[in-house]
Amino acid sequence: MEESSANPPADVPSRQGLTFDLDVDICVIGGGLAGLTMALESVRKGASVAVLEGRSIGWNASGHNLGTVMPGYGVAASDLIERVGFEDARHLWTLAQEGADYVRATAARMPGIALTDGALEVSRVDAGDELISRLQTLGEDFGTEVEGWQTDRVREVLKTDRYFHAIHFPKAFQIDARSYVHGLAALAESEGVRIFEDTPVVGIDPAGIRKRVFTPSAKLRCSHVVLAGNAHLGAPSQRLTATLLPTWRYAALTEPLAERLADAVAFQGSVSDTHGIDHFRIVDGDRLLWSSPETTWQGDPRRYAKRIESRIAAIFPKLGPVKIADTWGGMFGQTVHGMPQIGEVQPGLWILSGFGRQGLNTTAMGGQLLARSILSGDDRWRLFSPFELVWAGGSAGRIAGQAIDLWTRGHSATAGALSRFRERARSREQAREYATEARIASAKAQASVARQHASAAMHEDRSRG
Ligand SMILES: Cc1cc2nc3c(=O)[nH]c(=O)nc-3n(C[C@H](O)[C@H](O)[C@H](O)COP(=O)(O)OP(=O)(O)OC[C@H]3O[C@@H](n4cnc5c(N)ncnc54)[C@H](O)[C@@H]3O)c2cc1C
């Protein structure tokens, strides 16, 4: 059975901090999915690698996400084409697919990780034309396996009038996030990576061939430093930290819902909407794992339990009252352009960050790519060069980010309500048309009966006369 509470698995080892000076080839700052994948792939290529984690493995987003592994990036394929042109967009998409394949293959080697298949991206508005053009870009241009589902088919598996058509990704899949990140750390250690927890990096000196990395109780020397600290990075590079908009997303797990869940949700993969507002899936057979609210300041996840309850009630009123068993949150860094930050900032100083809401396949892709860049001279990280390190706006950016989020949610709710209004108006119109047709048919039938009666009467009169 899939593990689903927010607490770390019981058998997670705690690791020592770095208390002695150390020399390695590569120092990775940050023990999330990005840093761990990078470390594992580098050690596999023969490098000596240390991961310095300021707190503990997977304490943030990497251990608290919903585990949905999608193709592509958090930005639409059409935006990518607009930004870098068709050929480079296609190469970028292929890299992201390799990231998803990597997670599937790696998770398959971990005991106790159940993979479930399929994801639906549902539309909150009735805009079928957009669906067709997206299907064409994803399926025909980018070679991603996709199916278009009409509204009727969506509503067969999701009993709500909130959703219209959808894109089905049969090759997308789900993993248990915490088991995966801890499995990755265990795998990296078993192949020779040295992981130090409770070891915040407080400064770096990236000049020269051998760089120096400072922690409160020791220092480390290395040829390459990889900054994989997400928006928490802080002291080692405030300038880079300022290029990410920190965003907290909150998630909840419901109490068991018994048979009534199957009456409302019959889709076993994950469901997310095109506006990035709700994201959910069934776990443990009859519970919902649901994430929705976002803030640009850290909040207490328990405060969002009621908000998540009312989102569930609004979308699946048939479910009746739903109780939340557990809530948690995690922070991810969003870039201004929506694409991850991957590449060499100056000789030997690398960045691997900004994975946003879609970090499972992209951290895996980024980790592999940088390991190959440093150790095999693969320079495809340059495909990410058009996505520069843009200042995210500091406090003003956070206020703007929160306002944009509220606007998007409000706009999406209005657009959804309009689509449902139009749908109801269409069905009322259709009912009126049926009623008119029925009235005409019945009037015709009555007229025909009357004509038959009249002709029978005339016939009778003539026979009498
Ligand atoms: C609720 C929620 C649901 C999500 N659902 C999905 C999903 O279903 N699918 C998906 O693809 N993505 C999802 N995401 C996004 C995904 O989890 C993230 O994009 C991804 O985990 C980012 O990984 P990371 O390694 O970059 O960052 P993190 O997980 O934040 O790891 C960075 C690590 O670096 C450490 N660090 C930072 N600075 C320093 C320093 N100076 N010294 C030492 N250590 C440092 C931190 O302590 C931290 O452990 C979700 C996110 C959230 C919050």
What is the model's pLDDT at position 399?
Answer: 67
What is the model's pLDDT at position 12?
Answer: 78
For the stretch 87-132, pLDDT in tens is 999 999 999 999 999 999 999 989 888 889 999 999 998 877 778 8
Please tell me the distance from the alpha carbon of residue 277 to that of residue 296, in angstroms, as a whole number. Answer: 15
pLDDT of residue 193 exceeding 80, the answer is: yes
Domains, the chain, in order of start with CATH, read 1-113+175-244+335-392 (3.50.50.60)
Q: What are phi and psi of 171, to 5 degrees?
A: -95, -5
Q: Is the CB of 34 under 6 A from ligand 1?
A: yes
Q: Is the CB of 50 under 6 A from ligand 1?
A: no
* Mean pLDDT, residues 316-342 taken together: 94
What is the model's pLDDT at position 449?
Answer: 83
Please tell me the distance from the alpha carbon of residue 90 to that of residue 37, in angstroms, as a whole number. Answer: 23
What is the model's pLDDT at position 2?
Answer: 38
Strands 270-273 and 68-69: unpaired
Share of the chain above pLDDT 90, in %: 70
Buried-exposed string 217-248: b where 16+ CB fall within 10 A, e elsewhere: ebbbebbbbbbbbbbbbeebbeebbbbbbbbb
* Mean pLDDT, residues 370-397 taken together: 86
Answer whether 363's CB lies under 8 Å from 32's CB: yes
| Ligand 1 center–CA 355 separation, angstroms | 8
Helix (H, G, I), strand (E, B) or coil at 198: coil
pLDDT of residue 145 exceeding 90, the answer is: yes
Task: Output the CA–CA distances (angstroms, integers) from residue 401 to 150, 155, 220, 450, in the order listed.
Answer: 33, 33, 37, 72
pLDDT of residue 5 exceeding 60, the answer is: no
Q: Is the CB of 234 under 6 A from ligand 1?
A: yes
Q: Is the CB of 31 under 6 A from ligand 1?
A: yes
For the stretch 416-464, pLDDT in tens is 766 666 767 777 777 777 777 888 888 888 888 888 888 877 777 777 6
Among 305, 252, 289, 279, CA closest to 358: 279
DSSP-assigned letter for residue 142: T
* Mean pLDDT, residues 51-75 taken together: 96
Q: How many residues does the chain have?
A: 465
Answer whether 69's CB lies under 8 Å from 103's CB: yes
What is the model's pLDDT at position 6?
Answer: 45
Q: Which of 4, 66, 239 to mutate to test the pocket of ligand 1 (most atoms within 8 A of CB)?
A: 66
Please tell me the distance from the alpha carbon of residue 391 to that of residue 175, in angstroms, as a whole number. Answer: 33
| Ligand 1 center–CA 59 separation, angstroms | 8
For the stretch 216-235, pLDDT in tens is 999 999 999 999 999 899 88
What is the model's pLDDT at position 356?
Answer: 94
pLDDT of residue 169 exceeding 90, the answer is: yes
For the stretch 264-275, pLDDT in tens is 999 999 999 988
- Cα 403 to chain centroid distance, Å, stands at 21
Among 219, 213, 249, CA closest to 231: 249
Please tell me the distance from the alpha carbon of residue 276 to that of residue 405, in angstroms, as a whole number. Answer: 10
What is the model's pLDDT at position 400?
Answer: 64
* Mean pLDDT, residues 287-311 taken together: 92
pLDDT of residue 316 exceeding 60, the answer is: yes
pLDDT classification of 284: cutoffs 50, 70, 90: very high
Angle CA 441–445–446, to nearest 5 = 120
Q: What residue owns the CA closest to ligand 1's atom 28?
A: 32
Q: What residue owns the CA closest to ligand 1's atom 9?
A: 68
Q: Which of 14, 27, 33, 243 to mutate to test the pocket of ligand 1 (most atoms within 8 A of CB)?
A: 33
Q: Which residues contact 178 (CB under 8 A, 6 or more apart)?
A: 3, 8, 9, 58, 63, 64
Answer whether 361's CB lies under 8 Å from 71's CB: yes
Answer whether 423's CB lies under 8 Å from 155's CB: no
* Mean pLDDT, residues 140-150 taken together: 95
41: β partners: none
pLDDT of residue 140 exceeding 70, the answer is: yes
For the stretch 11-24, pLDDT in tens is 777 899 999 999 99
Q: Is the CB of 360 under 6 A from ligand 1?
A: yes
Atom of ligand 1 nearest to the CA of 362: 11
350: β partners: 226, 344
Share of the chain above pLDDT 70, in %: 90
Q: Which residues contact 163 (CB under 8 A, 6 or more apart)?
A: 122, 123, 124, 151, 154, 155, 273, 315
E strand map for 175-259: 194-196, 203-205, 211-214, 219-222, 224-227, 245-254
Please tell me the distance from the alpha carbon of residue 26 to that of residue 159, in angstroms, as a whole number. Answer: 51
Answer whether 183's CB lies under 8 Å from 107's CB: yes
- Count Cβ atoms below 10 Å from residue 65 Cβ, excluding itself: 25
Strands 349-353 and 245-254: unpaired
Among 325, 337, 234, CA closest to 286: 325
SS (H, E, C) 345-364: EECCEEEEECCCCCCHHHHH
Q: Which of 15, 232, 247, 250 to mutate to test the pocket of ligand 1 (most atoms within 8 A of CB)?
A: 232
End-to-end CA distance of the chain: give it in Å, rounded. Answer: 91
Q: Is the CB of 363 under 6 A from ligand 1?
A: yes
pLDDT classification of 142: cutoffs 50, 70, 90: very high
Task: Name the residue with higher pLDDT: 142 or 236.
Answer: 142
Task: Name the residue with higher pLDDT: 197 or 458.
Answer: 197
